[in-house]
Structure formats: C-alpha cells, structure tokens
A and B are shown apart, each in its own frame.
Chain A
Amino acid sequence: MATQTDSSMKVKLILAWGFVGIPLAWGVIQTIINSMKLFQ
C-alpha cells in the first residue's frame, strides 16, 4: 500500500513539475536563441 502511494506521488510530482517546467523551458530556450544575437 505504501509503495502504491509512493508511486502515485511520484507520478503527481512528474506531472506537476512537467506542467510548469515544459512551458518555462520553452520560454527560456526562446530567450536564449534571441540572446545569441548579442554574440553575432
């Protein structure tokens, strides 16, 4: 039972961090691409 709770919490953590992490990573990548213009 404890293992089941553990794995369900792991799934929740992955989903929650993915929910905010993926859009943030996309935004950061866009900004890095734009920032590279400084070195061109």
Chain B
Amino acid sequence: MGMLSFLDREHTIAEPGFSRWLVPPAALCVHLCIGQAYAFSVFNLPMTKLIGITQSTPNDWKLTELGWIFSIAIFFLGVSSAVFGRWVEEGGPRRAMFTAAICWAGGFLISALGVYAHALWLIYLGYGVLGGIALGIGYISPVSTLIKWFPDRPGMATGMAIMGFGGGAFIASPLSVWLMSKFNTSTHVGVAETFIVLGVVYFFFMIVGSIIVRVPAPGWKPEGYTPPATARKLITKNDVFVYDALKTPQFWLIWWILCLNVTAGIGVLGQASAMSQEMFPGHITPVAAAGFVGLMSLFNMGGRFVWASTSDYIGRRNTYFVFMVLGFFLYCAVPYTGSIGSVVGFVCAFLVIISMYGGGFSTVPAYLKDMFGTRYVGAIHGLLLTAWSAAGIFGPVLVNYIREYNVTHGVPKAQAYNTTMYIMAGLLVIGFICNALVRAVSERFHMQPDDPRAHDVMATATPKTAPVGARA
C-alpha cells in the first residue's frame, strides 16, 4: 500500500503556514462535481431517443425506466454515507475524496458503456450504484475536516461546502446541454460522449480537491480563538462514539427534523414548474415557470450558505425553530396567494421556503457537532443522511398523489395543491416539536479518553510539524 500512502490521514496534516481558507475550495471541488446529480434530468429526454435519434421508438427506453437511475443514486447516497461514514472519518478526507473521484468518474464511464451497448442495467450500475456511492462518500468527506478547521464558525464552513452541492447543477446543466449539442450527429444523440467528458473532467476536479485538502495538526486552533472554557448548554465539549449516537434520542430527533424539513421542500422543488402554472393559469407561462425553477435553485444554493452562517450567531436549534415557524406560515399562505392571484406573494413564499430547505441540509452538520462533538461528526452525519433518502420518497409522493387524488375528485387544478400545502405546514409543526425536545446528550454517552473503540489516527499520530503556525 506504499504507493497509496499519500492518501493516509497522517500525510495530510497541514504544514506551518498553511491557510485554512484553502480547505473550503478543496471541499467545493468535490461538492460542485457530485452536485451534478441535481441536473441528471437533462439526460432523460435524450436517452429516450438513443435508437430513434429524432423521436422515441418502441425499443427506446421509457422515461419511467430512466427515472430509476436518479432514485437508485439517491438510495445509494444514503446507504454509502451510513455504511462508509466511520471509514471516511478514520481514513481522512483525502482518501475519501480520492475514492469518491474514482467512483464518480467510473460511474460515468460505465454509464457511457451502457449507452453504447443500449444496456440500461449498466447505467443503473454505473451512475446509480457506483455514482450513488460516490455521492455518499463525497458528500460527507470534507464535513468533519471543515468543522475542525473552523471551530469558531462551523456552520459557515460546512455551509460553504454544502452550498457547492446545490451549485453543482448550475454548472452541470448548461455544460451537459452544450456538450450534447457538440457530439450530436445524425446517427447518435451524443449522450455517451458527454458522459465520458464529464467523467474525465469531474475526476480531474475531485483529484485536485483531494490534493489540496489538509487536516489540522493535533492541538491546532485559529489565531486569536479561545475555546469556551465551559461547555454551553447545547454545545458539548465531549465526543460521542459514532454508533453510540444511534442510541441517543437526540440523533433520532434531529433525524426527524431533517427528514421533515427536507420532505416539505423536496416535494415542491420537483413540482414547482407544474404547480406555478396550474395555480396561476395564464399568468405563469411554461417559459416563466422555467425561470421560477432557476430562481428557486439559486435560493436553494444561497440559503445553504446564509442560513448555516446565521446559525453560528443565533444557534443551531434556533435556526431550525425559524425554519419550522416561518415555513409553517409560508406554507399556509401559499393557498391564499393563489386565491387572490398574487404571483409575487407566491414566488416570494417559495423562494424563502426553498432557502430554508437548503439551509436545513447545511446547518445539520454543525447541529450534530454541537450535540456529539467533532470526533465522529462526519460519520454521524453519514448515518443521518438516511433521512434524506426517506424524504426523497415521502416528499414527491405527498405532493404528486394528493394532487392526483384532488384532481380526480373534482377539485380545480388551481386549488389541487392546497391540501398538500397544509400537510407540509403540519409536518413542520411535528418538526418544531422534535426540535423543542432536543436537549444536551447524556454524559453516559460521552467517550472516555481510553475508549478502546476509538481508532482515530489524529489522536495518536505524531505530527510532522508543530501545530503552531498554521494560519487562520
């Protein structure tokens, strides 16, 4: 394993003079690439014409079959982040980023082969399984490193990385459309070539991130930063072992908080275009609806940074209280904006809702750090992401099926979403209660210094350099 020893955690300890502000771009290298997942739908329509080229033939893949690719990827995101969380935490960020790069690029290359061979199972395996594993490992890989580099502003630091996941689609969507237009000929649609180019480009980007990333030397702290002498009420100074966190009510309360917040947002995010046109027929055209979706994704990304940074000042629990209370009123207000025909009110309500959806993702790592300490926060975050997978099923099902039920029972399309909005508001009430129940973790779960389960290289490694000197 000598050849790959540069991936080890002990080889990534920062030299004196290293600036911690190099770590966020390293994290963004990974998150901007894996954030492509949000833009995968741009391939759906072209992949229904791989044989027919100009139009679908009976032998071409159906949209329903292609929809499974994204679902499998999100499923494996949750599974891999939960399964590999401890491995990521103990092996260090470089090894995790490197592995994510290989899986992500490999997923694209296998998918390209699947397009060439017209074998859908290869795309399920490539983008779905391998890509999903890359999503899970890549998503959590920089989280605990950022928290350790920014003990003074952990929300802002993780918010920056997770903002990248939201922003990845901004790059991937126009880039993929442009690449397909370049490779498109009269005999094929250019999807396979686009997959190959994306795989190579993403591999390069993610490897650069893995080269830049560093972990702080043991005992390092930012210049001028004095850790609070005593633990604050909801910010622990102790660590909880990754699997012990599962035994605490705090983990499951935060699991439900995330799940409910994401469920409320993800359902409307996927249906925003159709919903806006059906609620305001004649006022919002399909072109305007596309603009609305773009604006929502900007707020989704911006909310990840703004809300997580705000949580450093107002506290994590208070931030989620804002999400739940403000979200409740905004969801209740949406049917009213429809009834009075206020497009501006509707758009503003959803932009704030979507910013809080993004904020829910980006604030949660710091919430976990406050509850369970920094030592296993990445691994615990990985376990928590199963809430995302669950919300990915609940959210769209709630929105789509309730709308369908209403329409088939004679409710006008303009009002078909009202029930869903009230249900979403109700979910946030449950989220509010869960958040209110969060208390500090019991001392019996705190790790002891001689805990034999803790195999943390950082705790025992001799740094190559003294901890002093690394700059804030």
Contacts and interface: CB of A to CB of B under 8 A. Distances in A.
Interface of A: 5-6, 9, 12-13, 16-17, 19-21, 23-24, 26-28, 30-32, 34-40
A30 to B, nearest CB: 5
Given A9-B17, A24-B164, A30 B170 contact: yes
A13 B21 contact: yes
A37 to B, nearest CB: 4
Given A12-B22, A13-B21, A27 B171 contact: yes
B360 interface: no
Chain B interface residue bracket vs A? 20 to 34
A31 B29 contact: no
Given A17-B25, A19-B208, A40 B298 contact: no
B120 interface: no
Contacts of B208: 19
A28 to B, nearest CB: 6
A29 B292 CA distance: 15
Contacts of B25: 16-17, 19-21
A37 B164 contact: no
Given A36-B291, A37-B291, 17 more contacts: A5-B17, A16-B212, A23-B32, A27-B171, A28-B170, A28-B298, A30-B174, A34-B294, A35-B292, A35-B294, A35-B298, A37-B287, A37-B294, A38-B288, A38-B347, A39-B291, A40-B288
Interface in B259-292: 284, 287-292
A36 to B, nearest CB: 6
Contacts of B291: 34-40
Contacts of B438: none
Interface string B284-309: 10011111101101100100000000
Give me the 5 closest cross-chain CB pairs, A-B, nearest first: A27-B170, A38-B291, A37-B291, A27-B171, A35-B294
Contacts, number: 80
Contacts of B169: 27
Contacts of A6: 17
Contacts of A35: 291-292, 294-295, 298
26 contacts: A9-B18, A13-B19, A16-B26, A19-B208, A20-B29, A20-B164, A24-B167, A26-B171, A27-B169, A28-B170, A28-B298, A28-B301, A30-B170, A30-B173, A31-B170, A34-B290, A34-B291, A34-B294, A35-B292, A35-B298, A37-B291, A38-B288, A38-B289, A38-B347, A39-B291, A40-B287
A29 to B, nearest CB: 9
B215 interface: no
Contact of A24 (B18, B32, B212, B288): B32
Most chain A Cβ neighbours within 10 Å, of B26, B174, B287, B301? B174
Contact of B19 (A9, A23, A40): A9
Contacts of B164: 20, 24
B272 to A, nearest CB: 11
A16 B22 contact: yes
Contacts of A19: 25, 29, 208
A13 B287 contact: no
Contact of B288 (A26, A27, A37): A37
B28 interface: yes
A13 B292 contact: no
A27 B167 CA distance: 8
Contact of A20 (B32, B288, B295, B347): B32
Contacts of A26: 171
Contacts of A17: 25
A13 B20 CA distance: 10
B298 A37 contact: no
A28 B32 CA distance: 12
Contacts of B347: 38
A17 B24 CA distance: 9
